[in-house]
Structure 1
């Protein structure tokens, strides 16, 4: 099963790249760089679709379509398509060697179903014109794919070295809650990003000069609506965007306090100090990147790093949960 494990590892690394690349596409406003799916104006590459792209640029020079944006969008699709093929290969190898794998077929088949659904979400992202619910679901699907691939790789790799892990029953519930809180915060972060609310609060730590600025939670957290619009088709007010951003900040405080407590418990637990320091370091990095996004006006590199940091923090909690359950 050596080849099987190598393919899982390759898919895991690629999944992280796809998550980061997807963030780059979204944050550089290239999500509609090719307004059809799966090709670009029906062509395999933007180079082949140059005439169609030029025609669109002649009509709307400042529109969502350009040669650069088309390449960004299509490169993301190429990488995502390759990941899909790797996951299909993993499922096929798991089926052929089902008597040799460590945990059976359930997880590989779940990954295959998830990757198919991810492809559908990618299509709907374009055809539904970046509807926030769909784009946020696509982000969460990518993070879930990454987490499941990591769990599968850890499982098939077997015992993590020869490190002795003391009884970890007292850490199980805390580790699981940490994972859930980070996943919730990633969901909120996705909602901020897909609604373009990252700078709805332009100051820090206050928001519009107040701890509790005017906010419209009902409009901000109405799921079924178009980008930038209320459920009735009106322009989404600033108070709704403020509510989205403010909620993400409050949840960030909750996650920081909880993970800080969890890190202290890990550092004091035999065999888990290193894991605690890794989680603590990623937490500090992620909080710093989030604050920098506000203070420096959402630089593209910092915003993409914030998304990648979320993926790394999630991954560290996945590893922790695996260890406390499979010591």
Structure 2
């Protein structure tokens, strides 16, 4: 399907306007103007309040959001009227239509809760998902023709890099939420660290001892963000190199690959400039802006390289099937119970979300590896012979890589956003499920499910440990 020039321009304008909203949100955070308008949706009870500096900055953010919202609404309406026959465009427009109002609601909740770190992070995550949807839509209207019927293996590296970049964004939000922005005064190692009560660059001259590789507190959180960025960055550079090698296969792939690599280098330089410049305002504001630009560029690269058609849709369904969603939901329910018991009520939102996301990834990864080890006996049973591996719809290598990748994601999410004990327990559950239950008990005794059921007792422990940091009952 071809798209009119005016429709393409409206899609591009929606993306740019939404990007400006996210960038100005970074200015709001850097200047501490988040409560410049302490109420919502009005500002000091008025639409046009008196404009002191903090109010002016926050009000500008809201004005940009309104302008962007009108642009996005016009684009979504035009899509529904003229281009609903293209299912890719239609579903992306529906996603945008859901994410944008949700962004406004989350913004209101964030203000009313006086910038709660968990809600600030959720607000940012939703904004980046909105940017991703608009970026993919922009790629489709710019290059509407699909280049091939099946995505080759190298495109999975690009897709994984995009997912990793989202984790980097969330870890950066954790650094800000945990007041760890000013924790390290050197780069790439931590170097001298700030005293615990010094949370602003004006106190940068008051520092404690030099610790290059911290193991606790705010410096550890700051360094974890750097570690995650380094790992994802290596994968992203490799993905850009692969995209450049295959640039003749897909229009626009080479240019986007070069742009993504350059933006990544720029982002690393800005990240280094923060501690090395004593956290100047320009560096603090440029860092999240460049991160969002890199996120959009990485998503565009993934959208160009991995262009799913009907066959790829089946691959996605099979990958989901490898995670055994039914079993996963039951395990998450027990983890949720452990969290509520440990918290003696409703657990903190951030830890709850991290534990459910990490738990889902750990459960899905263990199930995918279980599919791999059970592929021979699955072929003999009527109930299981149509699973992805025995039916030969998914290769064994993909199942193993998928399982390991999900477990790595689970460990990182739980270690960064909950604690190391919860992450270690989740990993131990996977190891027990695979080595003890799948490889040993299932092939030696009819009591395998009785003994192996111990793996199913791990999620409540993960939930408890995520809240308390220990396995003590007190």
1:59 matched residue in structure 2: none
Distance 1:38 1:262, change over 3 A: same
Query: Which deviations, in whole Å up to 9, do the C-alpha atoms of 1:206-255 show, x marking residues without a partner?
Result: 3243343240xxxxxxxxxxxxxxxxxxxxxxx2x223212101111112
Query: Which deviations, in whole Å up to 9, do the C-alpha atoms of 1:290-315 show, x marking residues without a partner?
Result: 01111112212122211121112111
1:266 matched residue in structure 2: 243
Cα distance between partner residues in 1 of 2:244 and 2:81? 42
Q: May I ask how many residue pairs the two structures share in their alignment?
A: 283
Distance 1:277 1:34, change over 3 A: same
Cα distance between partner residues in 2 of 1:93 and 1:268? 37
Cα distance between partner residues in 1 of 2:302 and 2:83? 25
**How far off its partner does 1:151 sit?**
0.9
Q: Establish whether residue 79 from structure 1 lines up as the match of residue 60 from structure 2.
A: no
Segments of structure 2 that go 5 or more residues without pairing to the other structure are 193-209, 309-474
Q: Establish whether residue 279 from structure 1 lines up as the match of residue 260 from structure 2.
A: yes
2:162 to 150, 174, 179: 179
2:93 to 101, 105, 108: 108
2:315 matched residue in structure 1: none
Q: How does 1:139-150 map to 2 (within 5 A)?
A: 139-150=124-135
2:31 to 10, 28, 33: 28
**How far off its partner does 1:316 sit?**
1.5
Distance 1:168 1:94, change over 3 A: closer
Question: Are the aligned partners of 1:25 and 1:72 in contact in 2 as well (CA < 8 Å)?
Answer: yes
1:117 to 99, 102, 117: 102
Question: Are the aligned partners of 1:94 and 1:101 in contact in 2 as well (CA < 8 Å)?
Answer: no
2:290 to 295, 303, 309: 309
**How far off its partner does 1:73 sit?**
0.3
**How far off its partner does 1:168 sit?**
5.8
Deviation larger for 117-126 or 90-99: 90-99
**How far off its partner does 1:30 sit?**
0.3
Q: Establish whether residue 257 from structure 1 lines up as the match of residue 234 from structure 2.
A: yes
1:127 to 112, 122, 139: 112
Q: Which has the higher contact order (CA 8 A, sep 6+)?
A: 1
1:198 matched residue in structure 2: 181
Larger radius of gyration, structure 1 or 2?
2
TM-score scaled by structure 1?
Answer: 0.79
Query: Which deviations, in whole Å up to 9, do the C-alpha atoms of 1:36-58 show, x marking residues without a partner?
Result: 111111101222xx7xxxxxxxx
Query: Which deviations, in whole Å up to 9, do the C-alpha atoms of 1:181-221 show, x marking residues without a partner?
Result: 11100111112123332111122233243343240xxxxxx
TM-score scaled by structure 2?
Answer: 0.56
Distance 1:104 1:201, change over 3 A: closer
2:272 matched residue in structure 1: 291
**How far off its partner does 1:133 sit?**
0.8
